[in-house]
Amino acid sequence: MGPEVLVLLFGEAVMVFGALGIIRFPDVYTRLHAATKCDTGGAMSIILYLVLTMDAPALVRAKFLVLAFLIAMMNPMVSHAIARAAYRYGVIPKVVVDMYAWDNP
């Protein structure tokens, strides 16, 4: 038990609040905002804690770091694609100013 526990607690807190945001937010785009935070930040924090505290060969730690890097690369890409597809699918965002509609009439 050292200061590495704070990384795990941070990751768990981000996961819980992301889940609450996905349940309680009113719109697809705000839910996507909460989901992206809890996917990328929380998952990377927990995997970083595992890398810091486990006793394993260096190859296994390298695999965990590769997993964290892939999460950081792939999750924002998928979230961006889903947001654009939701707009093209016809979900109207509950906002006052819709700047995407200005640029793409």
Interface with other proteins: number of residues (CB under 8 A): 46
Q: Helix axis angle, 5-24 relative to 28-37, nearest 10°?
A: 170
Q: Does 89 bind other proteins (CB under 8 A)?
A: yes
Q: Does 48 bind other proteins (CB under 8 A)?
A: no
* Structure-block tokens of residue 35: 């989901």
Residues 6+ apart with CB under 8 A from 17: 34, 38
Q: How far apart are the C-alpha atoms of 105 and 103, rounded to whole Å? A: 6
**x/- map, 66-85, other proteins, by CB under 8 A:** xx--xx--xx-xxx-xx-xx
Nearest-approach distance from CB 31 to other proteins, in angstroms? 6
Q: Does 18 bind other proteins (CB under 8 A)?
A: yes
Q: List contacts with other proteins (CB under 8 A).
A: 1, 5, 8, 12, 15-16, 18-20, 22-23, 28, 31-32, 35, 38-39, 42-43, 46-47, 50, 53-54, 56, 60, 63-64, 66-67, 70-71, 74-75, 77-79, 81-82, 84-86, 88-91
